[in-house]
């Protein structure tokens, strides 16, 4: 019988994320770096260049490989659209999964001899950026493709694409930022004030657009009509800002060789946040509930931290709710229902129940042990019903990955 001290276990949960910590368990091939992070409900996906796609359902405690059908494992980017997950691979282009990454199908087979560098998805519309060949668009989920470079120079490498309402922004390696408001029929240059036109990344927070460049961060409040450099707090003249992540008023920026910086005042000032990072070549950032993840080049791997570790204490209940368990009824008598959001997330976890002495209540039932059985609830989704009719009255704890919740049995 497995026995441990519950008090120490709960302390370890509360203090285990005091700073950045590596979270690569299950990622068998870090390849040439973690290039992408995407969040979908309780799932965190990471894209590894030359390693493929990995999924975690427990905020990075462990990862499982999701490469079935993914012939090109040089993953550049990940995107979700409703219940679909998309992967962009450097050589093959766009892959689609409709089953949480369990299987992939190629959607860009019509695009030959391209090197793919960026993409964005909006319903059936897929926009892909290429190395030195501009942008291609599909309006039917990848069955047919059309090149849309009207307004671009003859040769242009696209490094990031984002969609914000009717506005589609594309940033390039040497030519700055472009905007389309007509579904990419044409592009308009938006570089006034951009003294550095090598733009790696862009993101939108409210009415503010942030651009990550070789120098650092530039900001626009008028949809790119004008730009201001925001460098207060950056320690170097060259910062190579590759990735952004936004939580409410807080903006994280990640740079090659520079690590992670945080701003809480719309980019007016930045503070370095690298404690615990063994490598600071940041290639990706992502936020899931109360956690932030960052990916590094080469063997730097994947790291995570709690937002609260950076002084962010106003995390909304809805965000925390995504990553917690609900148990009902509580107190209970005959059964409990455990809810973690989606059935897929729940089915990949190992449910364990302990009493107040730290003793695991064995399951499935063995002769002489307390009978516990499991069944999906009629409502489906992320609930599972546990028969606890054989448990004595008292206090128990359910453990599911890194989640712990208490329930009471009454007789």
**254 shares a domain with 184:** yes
Last residue of a domain, one of 298, 319, 340: 319
Q: Is residue 6 part of a domain?
A: no
CATH code, domain carrying 392: 2.60.40.10
10 Å Cβ neighbour count for 323? 21
Instruction: Give residue-wise pLDDT tens across range 20-76.
Output: 999 999 998 887 899 999 987 678 999 999 999 999 999 999 999 999 999 999 999
The pLDDT score that the predictor gives to residue 80 is 87
Mean of per-residue pLDDT scores for the chain: 84
Q: Is residue 8 part of a domain?
A: no
Residues 225 and 291 in one domain: yes
pLDDT (average), residues 213-220: 95
Q: Is the pLDDT of residue 352 over 90?
A: no
Q: Kindly state the average pLDDT of the residues 179-185.
A: 90
Q: Please name the residue ranges forming H helices in 257-392.
A: 317-321, 343-347
Residue 159 lies in a domain: yes
Pairing of strands 271-272, 282-288: unpaired
Q: Are 282 and 294 in contact (CB under 8 A)?
A: yes
Q: Are residues 66 and 175 in the same domain?
A: yes
Same domain, 285 and 230: yes
In the prediction, which pLDDT does 21 show? 94
Q: Could you tell me the CA-to-CA distances from 241 to 75, 200, 272, 341, 342 in Å, in that order?
A: 19, 7, 13, 34, 35
Buried b vs exposed e over 278-307: b needs ≥16 C-beta within 10 Å? ebbbbbbbbbbbbbbbbbbbeebbbbbbbb
pLDDT band at 373 (very low <50, low <70, confident <90, very high): very low
Q: What is the mean pLDDT of residues 302-330?
A: 73
pTM > 0.85: no
Instruction: Give the pLDDT band of residue 298 (cuts 50, 70, 90).
Output: confident
* Candidate from 296-305, 329-338, 367-376 with smallest mean pLDDT: 367-376
Contact 86, 126 (CB under 8 A): yes
| Structure-model confidence comparison of residues 36 and 205, the more confident one | 36
Based on the domain organization, do 111 and 66 belong to the same domain?
yes
Residues 171 and 199 sit within 8 Å (Cβ to Cβ): yes
Residue 1: inside a domain = no
- Mention every residue, 6+ apart, whose C-beta is less than 8 A from residue 309: 17, 18, 19
End-to-end CA distance of the chain: 26
Domain boundary among 288, 319, 350: 319
Both structure tokens of 47: 């894209």
Q: Residue 186 — very low, low, confident or very high, per pLDDT cuts 50/70/90?
A: very high
pLDDT at 11: 33
Domains of the chain: total: 2
pLDDT digits 0-9 by tens, 257-279: 999 999 999 999 999 999 999 89
Domain extent for 275? 16-319
Tell me the pLDDT band of 343, cut-offs 50, 70 and 90. Answer: very low
* pLDDT-based confidence at residue 317 (cuts at 50, 70, 90): very low
Predicted confidence at residue 406, as pLDDT, reads 80
Which of 319, 338, 362 finishes a domain?
319
| Predicted local confidence at residue 363, as pLDDT | 47
Predicted local distance difference test score (pLDDT) of residue 359: 74
């Amino acid at each position: 019988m497995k026995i441990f001290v519950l008090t120490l276990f709960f302390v370890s949960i509360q203090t285990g994320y005091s700073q950045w910590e590596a979270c690569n368990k299950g990622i068998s091939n870090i390849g040439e770096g973690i290039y992408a992070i995407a969040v979908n409900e309780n799932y965190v996906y990471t894209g590894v260049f030359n390693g493929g796609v990995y999924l975690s359902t427990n905020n990075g405690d462990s990862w499982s490989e999701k490469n079935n059908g993914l012939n090109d494992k040089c993953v550049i980017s990940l995107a979700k659209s409703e219940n679909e997950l998309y992967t962009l691979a450097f050589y093959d282009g766009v892959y689609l999964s409709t089953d949480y990454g369990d299987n992939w199908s190629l959607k860009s087979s019509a695009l030959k001899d391209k090197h793919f560098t960026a993409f964005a998805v909006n319903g059936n519309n897929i926009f892909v950026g290429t190395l030195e060949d501009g942008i291609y668009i599909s309006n039917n989920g990848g069955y047919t493709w059309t090149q849309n470079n009207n307004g671009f120079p003859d040769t242009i490498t696209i490094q990031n694409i984002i969609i914000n309402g009717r506005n589609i922004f594309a940033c390039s390696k040497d030519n700055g930022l472009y905007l389309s408001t007509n579904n990419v029929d044409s592009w308009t240059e938006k570089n006034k004030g951009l003294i550095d036109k090598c733009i790696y990344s862009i993101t939108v927070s409210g009415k503010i657009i942030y651009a990550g460049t070789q120098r650092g961060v530039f900001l626009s409040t008028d949809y790119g009509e004008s730009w201001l450099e925001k460098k207060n707090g950056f320690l170097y003249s060259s910062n190579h800002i590759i990735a952004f992540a936004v939580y409410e008023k807080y903006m994280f920026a990640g740079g090659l060789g520079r690590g992670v910086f945080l701003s809480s005042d719309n980019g007016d000032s930045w503070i370095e946040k690298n404690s615990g990072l063994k490598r600071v070549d940041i290639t990706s950032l992502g936020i899931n509930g109360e956690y932030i993840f960052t990916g590094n080049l080469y063997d730097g791997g994947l790291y995570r931290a709690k937002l609260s570790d950076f002084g962010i204490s106003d995390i909304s209940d809805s965000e925390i709710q995504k990553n917690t368990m609900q148990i009902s009824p509580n107190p209970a008598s005959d059964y409990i229902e455990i809810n973690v959001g989606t059935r897929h997330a729940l089915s990949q976890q190992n449910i364990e129940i302990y009493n107040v002495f730290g003793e695991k209540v064995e399951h499935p039932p063995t002769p002489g042990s307390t009978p516990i059985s499991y069944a999906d609830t009629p409502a489906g989704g992320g609930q599972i019903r546990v028969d606890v009719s054989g448990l004595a009255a008292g206090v128990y704890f359910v453990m599911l990955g890194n989640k712990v919740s208490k329930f009471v049995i009454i007789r």
